[in-house]
Amino acid sequence: MLDRAQIDKTLATLISKGDIPGLAAAAADASGVVYNAAFGRRSLGAPARMTEDSVFRIASMTKAITGAAAMQMVEQGKLSLDQPAREILPFLADTKVLDGFGTGGIPTLRAPRGEITLRNLLTHTAGFVYDTWNANMHRYAQLTGLPAARTGKLAALQAPLGYDPGTKWEYGINIDIAGRMVEVVSGLDLETYLQRHIFAPLGMTDTSFIQRPEWDSRLTTVHARQADGSLEPTATAAPPSAAEREFFPGGGGLYSTTGDYLRFLRANSTASAS
């Protein structure tokens, strides 16, 4: 039996202790939504209260949705998990492995030992990494001006690998590339594809890569943890407009609500169990 009162108490305590400014929480089972509540405020020090329909920047939670889109393409025979990804994205044929830096700080690059596949990309074993956490890739990006995937510039996908495909796991731009594969074989940009084939069928009316004016009163603030453990609101750069993007990065960037994301999770949990 779900103890709503105890869940309310636990979540409200997080707010009263100052651990976080606010939260929205939801849970569901096979019969439907069994819990939905919101506590605290959308932004530290601001009066607007958190609501169940508050809109969040869901960051890497975007990856699961892009993965579902890629698997739809597999079901339709437009992609295969183990075909060389370069057959869909020819630029991947020129992808090299970054082995380090030689004399004068020149990047040391070599051909990869193995093929990049959709299976690798979806499981973060293709060799692509994030310059945020990988020191060599950070140095490479600084030297070459390699853009981040979140810029929507296709040049971001021409990053070298951090290691050979299939040899280890590391978090990286893999799902951004998988999303680009969906764009190529579907003939639609990822925003349009997701709206038509995932969001609209599931009733996810508040989910998009594009920030909508009607969300202004419901949009939550991003906060940064300070050295002393406190939180401070942080400025968030506006995402590129649709016209400025050369592709939509499937590894991050969606806006959504708790209710919308729960619809996605329920649909995919049901599909997995059937």
State the average pLDDT over residues 33-38: 95
Give the pLDDT band (50/70/90) at residue 273: very low
- Active-site entry in 60, 217, 241, 269: 60
Nearest to 64 by CA among 194, 237, 163: 194
Supply the pLDDT for residue 45: 85
Phi, psi torsion values for 60, nearest 5 degrees: -75, -5
* Tokens linked to 42: 């959308």
Answer whether 142's CB lies under 8 Å from 134's CB. no
Predicted model pTM: 0.94
- The three-class DSSP label of residue 17 is coil
Residue 78 catalytic?
Answer: no
Check pLDDT > 60 for residue 271.
no
| Close Cβ partners of 170 (under 8 Å, ≥ 6 residues apart) | 124, 127, 128, 129, 134, 162, 163
Q: What is the pLDDT of residues 49-61, one digit of tens each?
A: 999 999 999 999 9
Burial 16-44 (b: 16+ CB within 10 A, else e): eeeebbbbbbbebeeeeeebbbbbbbbbb
Catalytic residue, from 54, 63, 140, 153: name it: 63
Q: Of 1, 24, 12, 72, whose CA–CA distance to 218 is shortest? A: 24
Tokens of 139: 């140095």
pLDDT recorded at residue 235: 84
Residue 166: CB atoms within 10 Å: 17
The whole-number average pLDDT for the span 249-255 is 97
SS3 content of the chain, % helix, strand, coil (to 5): 40, 15, 45
Taking only the tens place, the pLDDT of each residue in 153-195 is 999 999 999 999 999 999 999 999 999 999 999 999 999 999 9
Give the model's pLDDT for residue 242. Answer: 82
Distances (CA, A) of 63 to 105, 253, 262: 34, 9, 15
| Residues 6+ positions from 36 with CB-CB distance below 8 Å | 25, 26, 27, 52, 258, 259
According to DSSP, residue 175 is labeled H
pLDDT of residue 153: 96
55 DSSP β-pair partners: 219, 257
Q: Stretch 72-79: mean pLDDT, rounded? A: 98
- In the numeric block, which tokens belong to residue 255? 């806006």
The DSSP bridge partners found for residue 231 are 225
Domain ranges of the chain: 4-59+207-273, 64-186
Tens digit of each residue's pLDDT (9 = 90 or more) over 192-203: 999 999 999 999
pLDDT of residue 149: 95
Residue 101, beta-bridge partner list: 107
pLDDT for 218:
96
Q: Which of 19, 31, 49, 12 is nearest to 230 (CA)?
A: 19
63 is catalytic: yes
pLDDT at 2: 78
> Helical H runs in the chain?
4-16, 62-75, 118-122, 135-144, 174-186, 190-194, 200-202, 258-273
| Catalytic one of 35, 43, 78, 171 | 171
60 is catalytic: yes
- CA torsion sign for 202, 244, 61, 74 is positive
CATH 3.40.710.10 fits 64-186, yes or no: yes
